Structure formats: structure tokens, C-alpha cells
A = this chain, B = another copy of it.
Amino acid sequence: MKHTKFAVMGATGAVGEEMLRVLSEYGVPAENVLALASGRSAGKTLKYGEESLTVRECTKESFRGTEIVLGATEADTASAMEPFIRECGAVFIDNSSAFRLMDGVPLVIPEINGEDALSHRGLIANPNCSTIITLMAIAPLVRLAPAERMVVSTYQAVSGAGRGGMEDLISERSALVRGEAVSPRTFAHPIAENLIPKIGDVGENGYTSEEMKMQNESRKILHAPSLSVTCTCVRVPVMRSHAISVALYFSESFSVSAAKAAYRDFPGVILVDEPEKERYPMPILSGGKNEVFVGRIRKTLDSQNGIALFCSGDQIRKGAAANAVQIAALLCDGKQKRIP
């Protein structure tokens, strides 16, 4: 890992900057990291651990000499650059939605299906943030019995809309305190002290693209092609931790204590489940952390075979940047590693 030559494409965005932070936490030296962004950002200086990096414009020539490219751009840029990355022989670990459902492209959460990454053909996709956090939360349970269906409602942080989403919340929060009118820029409506129940575009079946990712990406990651998911995605006025309310139904019944025990040795997930002591997953608990927090585990009341739970995870870290760097570590070291 420390001797691998990295490029981060989209290095000035919220996810790109976090990828740099996680790479430096892994001990990758600054001289092995190329920070790429649009021409507009070229020349900017970014913090990298104790050192700094100068942003370079991302062109089709940029990837020469790199071994792993971490993508933190929108899908169109990722698609446009992918051929050039391949040409240079680098492995592309992409956080956009461009390649996630493509045949032959592994879609990987290292703790769940890390072995899929090892059969890559130069391109590995990083799943959607709310999918990663939800699947980390249910993965220990899915080992107990196959999951058949899932009902999910999300509470998604503004950071999921990038830096602009966070700027909307910060500026609207100040406007509220000053008693001024709130004027959203990134979102279609104010988000401070509001909820927006639509993330992504709406498809013919009435579900948004974000909601369909939960079903489609979960099927691929869990190797569960018949898993059905009813998902409702909602933007909430929280800075950078997503939370998700899950009801998960299995082919058989198991006890709450068996469910809780399943979390004991699962890497990357922390059970916080003493609600009577006010201990449960919350954004203020998961913010800035790599782990996904799970709690409120109980039997569903509408089926004998279901478990309900609530989870929270940092959308920029495990939901995006940390998961991508974990995949890189997997490739470099040939085995699953916890984030240091």
C-alpha cells in the first residue's frame, strides 16, 4: 500500500478530500499521491497529513505511472476518463454510479464481499453511500439466514449532495438564527429544519434512482438476486452521517439475542443497543468514524421472521472514501484489512 502510486480524481470535492485523508491515515506518503481535479482547481494546495499536495488538472494523460486511481467525480466524468485509466494500466476504483451494475465489474464492500474485488478486470465500483451503511448494518444478520425482503427508510445527511449540500445547511442555519429568508442553492428546497423526500431522479415505477440503488446494489453485493427492497430516501438536516431504519425479513425466524450475538466479531460494525440508557446509533456518534453503528435491534411486529434495526454511519468515510481506500488496501495486500 505504502509503495503504490495513487491518483485521486475529483480531489477537491468532499469525497476526494476525504480519500486523501484516509490515504494519509494508511501511511501512503505524499509523493505517491496525485491530486487531480478540473482545470479550475489546478494549482490549489490541499492538506495531506502533515504535508500538502498541489492539485493538477485531470486530463487523459494524467494517469501515466499511477497504479490505482480512486474516482470521486460524477458518473459522466468517470465514464469519460475510464478508457484512459485502463490504457495506462491502472486499476480504477470508482465511487460514481457509472459502473456499479455493469457485468464483470465487482461492486465491493470489503467486509462483506471482499473476495469479489480480487476478480476485477481493472475496474471496481464503490457502492452508493446509503447502500454501504445499510448493508454493513445487516451483513451480520444475513449470515444467520438468507434475507428475502427489506423495507428501508433513510435519513440522509446533506454531505451526500457534496460540498454544496453542506454549504446549503450551514448558510440556511445562519439565516434562521438571523431571522432572514433561507435561499437554497444545491437542494430544490430549504433543508435546514426541513426534510426532502426525494433524492435522485424519479423513475417510471415512482421510485427515485437513489431508492432503486438500495435494491439493485444490495442484490449484487450480497449475491442475492431475488432480494426485494422497498426503499424511501429522505434528505435530513444532518451534516455528514446517514442513518437508516431497516425492517429485514428472512426465510426463517431467529431470536433477538442470536441477532445481537452476530455483531460480536463482525469488523467495521459497532453494536450500540442500550436504549434504556440512551445508547443507540446517532449521527453525532458516527460522524468522522469509519465504523457503522447499529442498535434498536428487535423482532418485527408484522412478521415472525423479521428484525428491525436503526443504524448510522459517516457518509463520506465508510459511505464513500474509506470504503474505496479499503478496496485499494485489499488489492495491495491481497487480504481484507481493517482501516487503521
The residues in A between 176 and 204 inclusive whose CB is less than 8 angstroms from any CB of B are 176-177, 188-190, 193-198, 201-202
Shortest Cβ distance from residue A183 to the other chain B in the assembled complex, whole angstroms: 13
Interface-side segment among A12-20, A103-111, A148-156: A148-156
Interface bits A144-164 vs B (CB < 8 Å: 1, else 0): 000001110101000000000
Q: Knowing A155-B195, A196-B282, A197-B310 touch, does A206 contact B299 (C-beta < 8 A)?
A: yes
Q: Give Cα A195 to B195, complex, Å.
A: 12
Enumerate A273-310 residues with CB–CB distance to B below 8 Å. 275-276, 278, 280-284, 295-303, 306, 308, 310
Among B155, B194, B230, B281, point to the contact of A302 (Cβ < 8 A). B230
| Given A195-B238, A232-B296, A234-B310, also A275-B202 (CB < 8 A) | yes
Smallest Cβ-Cβ distance to A197: which chain B residue: B310
Within 8 Å by CB of A230, from B189, B230, B247, B281, lies B247
Query: Of A153, A208, A278, which is in contact with the most chain B CB atoms at under 10 Å from its CB?
Result: A153
Interface size class of A (residues with CB under 8 A): 35 or more
What is the chain B residue whose CB lies nearest that of A149?
B302
Q: Which residue of B lies closest to A297 (CB)?
A: B206
Given contacts A208-B275, A275-B202, contact A283 B195 (CB under 8 A): yes
Q: Which residues of the partner chain B approach A296 to less than 8 Å between Cβ atoms?
A: 197-198, 206, 232
Whether A189 and B282, one on each chain, are in contact in the complex, defined by CB atoms closer than 8 angstroms, is yes
Give every chain B residue within 8 A of A190 (Cβ-Cβ): 284
A229 close to B (CB within 8 Å): yes
Given A189-B284, A193-B238: A205 in contact with B298 (beta carbons within 8 A)? yes
A312 within 8 Å of B (CB atoms)? yes
Pick the contact of A215: B208, B231, B280, B301 (CB < 8 A).
B301
Further 11 A-B residue pairs, CB within 8 A, beyond A151-B300, A153-B232, A155-B195:
A151-B247, A194-B283, A195-B238, A197-B245, A197-B310, A206-B275, A207-B301, A228-B302, A230-B301, A232-B245, A234-B310
